[in-house]
Structure 1
Amino acid sequence: MNDTFEQLEVWRRSHALSIEIYRLLEQCRDWGFKDQITRSANSIPDNIAEGAERPGKAEYRQFIGYAKGSAGEARSQVMRAEALAYINAANSQRILQELREISRMLHGLYNSLM
């Protein structure tokens, strides 16, 4: 197991993706949607970090489950962002692929904490 959450590849990738989503939607004037999608994207690395800082494996595992749920929520919202033309198709597909990979990584981390 890694010493800190910052060393986890899944945290680094989800952190970078949350920043990318902020940047892609910088000019979006749909404040409610922008707030929701950035919250779900931020929730992925934040839950990984919070879980890693908890004292027990069971709590850590619970927060990894929350992060995985947030990855699903973010995927749904990225699809909506593309449909609303807030994000172009190329960016949407790239982000969706990264979210799927992050979700797979979270699944592996979740199982490793049994």
Structure 2
Amino acid sequence: MDYKELDVWKSSIELAKLVYHFTRQLPSNEEYGLSHQMRRAAISIPSNIAEGIGRNTSKETIQFLFIARGSIFELETQLILCKEIFKVDTNDYDALFQKLQNCKMLINGFINYYQKK
């Protein structure tokens, strides 16, 4: 299976791109704070999906999918903090939050698929 053809991976790549766009509007003193943490969490999602697909067993794949899901929850929390702490563009926030929810749904579905295999 080529992970690059999976909707869940493609969606998480789009999410990471949105995170990079979104974090550019945060104050420059957040470059090594919340911005950095959000980018790391966003990159972790497609990376762990890819690594999981590259594993030999469904059990190992599921383990990495759960790590990716954990990164989504981490990113969601950081995004909410951004909204609470900084004046961020509402449209950017809403688009990113919606994409995050979509990715969360796709990963949950993919985990369910692998657990039934």
TM-score for the superposition, normalised by structure 1? 0.90
Corresponding residue of 2:90: 89
Q: In the alignment, is the contact (CA less than 8 A) between 2:69 and 2:107 conserved in 1?
A: yes
Superposed counterparts of 1:56-95, under 5 Å: 56-85=57-86, 87-95=88-96
- 1:42 match: 43
Shift of 1:109: 0.6
Determine whether 1:11 maps to 2:9.
yes
How many aligned positions are there? 112
Query: Which stretch shows the higher mean deviation, 91-100 or 42-51?
Result: 91-100
After TM superposition, give the deviation of residue 85 of structure 1 in Å.
2.4
What root-mean-square deviation, in Å, do the aligned CA atoms of Structure 1 and Structure 2 show?
Answer: 1.4
Shift of 1:27: 5.1
Which residue in the other structure is 2:24 paired with? 26
Q: Aligned partners of 1:53 and 1:19: how far apart in 2?
A: 23
Measured after TM superposition, the shift of residue 6 of structure 1 is: 0.3
Relative contact order (C-alpha < 8 Å, sep 6+): which is higher? 2
With normalisation by structure 2, the TM-score equals 0.88
Displacement of 1:86? 5.6
Gap runs ≥5 in structure 1: none
Structure 2 unaligned regions, length at least 5: none
Give 4+ residue runs of structure 1 displaced > 4 Å after superposition.
Answer: none
Q: Distance in 2 between matches of 1:86 and 1:36?
A: 18
